[in-house]
Chains A and B, each alone.
Chain A
Amino acid sequence: MRFRFAQAAIDTQAARQELQNLAAGGYVSFEGWVRDHNEGLEVTRLEYEAFQELAVKEGDRIVAEALRRFPVAHALCIHRVGVLALGEMAVWVGVSSEHRGEAFDACRYIIDEVKHRVPIWKKEHYRNGDSGWVNCERCAAPAQHTHTAQRTQAVQHTHSAQHHDHAAVSTPK
């Protein structure tokens, strides 16, 4: 299973373990967080809903595509459903790979495709008491914007596993 849903906080440590592989020289992950504003409005919480049977199939296909396109070892994506507070993690993508370049590319591919193809919806609740389904109401035109802060973490480790070289990289929106 390469794509799944989580009903509660995503356990990134456990997820990362699933990607462990002695042939892999690097691991890249992406976390999407609930942000406190969007399109000029103060957001107080998000509500995620998914058509899970189809979402899991489409998510699995996206991860399988990434594994075909880029020579990476393992990849996994976990998405939250339910009500999320500010700062909570809405989505997690992890990729392990022999080399870092493909790991970044595959991670980017997975999150971009998941946002556009997987039947998941989010409702924003605003400080002013209003709420709306993103892309369906306030912004009727399919939008490119994201509602979660984006941060890509890259961790290169040596095969001795003694020394971990951490680097945090922000991806442009």
Chain B
Amino acid sequence: MHRDKAALQYRGSSQLDRTFQLASRHVPEVYVSVRANQTLDPMRAQRRMIVDSIAGEGPIVGIRSALAAFPQVAWLVLACDLPFLSDEAVEYLLRNRDPAGFATAYRSAHDDLPEPLCAIWEPAAAAALAEYQAAGGHCPRKFLIRHGVPLLEPLDRRALDNVNTPEEYAQAIVSLESEPPMQLQIRYYALMREQAGRSEESIETSAATPADLYAELVSRYAFSLPREQLKVAVNSEFSEWSRKLKQGDAVVFIPPVAGG
């Protein structure tokens, strides 16, 4: 495919934007990994970037550059060619993270091999990756196999399907667009109404749950209340934060009440 896969559009947003938003719902800071010659690319330049700082080719360079830029943190690494990647898949990965190992990764549903580009890479992997690359290695998948990293079974086989050919892109579009875009009705009250500057709106979102939706709206409106102080209602009834949202649901976040 002679196109930048991160720029492919799905339901009106680029795969880079979709991946960025997805990651933002689960981790505090998100960066885009770029080669030195990509730093002026307009789509990438508006994001915080990790520029390759290590010689070599392929994604291993991006992973190593991130670990080198912030050596104390673990990295959730997501490829920009996974249009079906879901909040559930990311959340499951984070929940099952093994901070004592080199990485936490899924087993591919197609070839049973590790998927290094929807994985958590730990600081401890930095030195081993350097050694592996110095010995001529370049494939992060083989690195995970060599080090016997335990693998998670994907909950949804499709979540890690990637897009490599124009045919696969066409199929992914059909598949994603056949799911009606999820439109939600949101109403705001009291302090949140004032902070959002509106009392209601209709939004299109990929947020799977009220918790994801709140994270998305906090980044838009800078709501001051932490989620722990709120309750949430879906279709005029109190709801769990983990409830799966459906097309047309009406969502209301409920700040601390003060009747009487």
Residues of A within 8 A of B189 (CB): 49-51, 119, 121
CA distance A58 to B193 in the complex (A): 21
Our count of residue pairs bridging A and B at CB distance below 8 angstroms stands at: 81
Which listed segment binds A: B39-47, B56-64, B102-110, B233-241? B233-241
> Which residue of chain B has its CB nearest to the CB of A90?
B260
Q: Least Cβ distance of A135 to chain B in Å? A: 4
How many chain B residues touch A (CB < 8 A): the figure is 20
The A131-145 residues at the B interface (CB cut-off 8 A) are 133-137, 140, 142
Interface membership of B190, Cβ < 8 A:
yes
B191 and A111 form a contact (CB under 8 A): no
Residues of B within 8 A of A142 (CB): 229, 256
Do A57 and B259 form a contact, CB below 8 Å, given A51-B254, A119-B189, A136-B225? no
Q: Least Cβ distance of A52 to chain B in Å? A: 9
Interface membership of A147, Cβ < 8 A:
yes
How many chain A residues touch B (CB < 8 A): the figure is 33
Q: Least Cβ distance of B172 to chain A in Å? A: 39
A91 and B236 form a contact (CB under 8 A): no
Do A119 and B257 form a contact, CB below 8 Å, given A53-B236, A54-B233? yes
B252 and A133 form a contact (CB under 8 A): no
CA distance A1 to B260 in the complex (A): 19
Interface membership of B255, Cβ < 8 A:
yes
A134 and B258 form a contact (CB under 8 A): yes
Residues of A within 8 A of B259 (CB): 48, 50, 79, 91, 114-115, 118, 120-122
Instruction: Give the contacting residue for A111; candidates B231, B254, B256, B260; CB below 8 A.
Output: B260
Interface membership of B138, Cβ < 8 A:
no
B260 and A148 form a contact (CB under 8 A): yes
The B169-193 residues at the A interface (CB cut-off 8 A) are 187, 189-191, 193
Contact with A along B220-245 (1 / 0, CB 8 A): 00000100010101001110000000
Residues of B within 8 A of A48 (CB): 259
CA distance A142 to B187 in the complex (A): 23
Q: Least Cβ distance of B207 to chain A in Å? A: 20
Instruction: Give the contacting residue for B190; candidates A116, A123, A140; CB below 8 A.
Output: A123
Do A121 and B191 form a contact, CB below 8 Å, given A51-B233, A133-B258? yes
Residues of A within 8 A of B225 (CB): 136
Interface residues of A, Cβ cutoff 8 Å to B: 32, 48-51, 53-54, 57-58, 79, 90-91, 111, 114-123, 133-137, 140, 142, 146-148
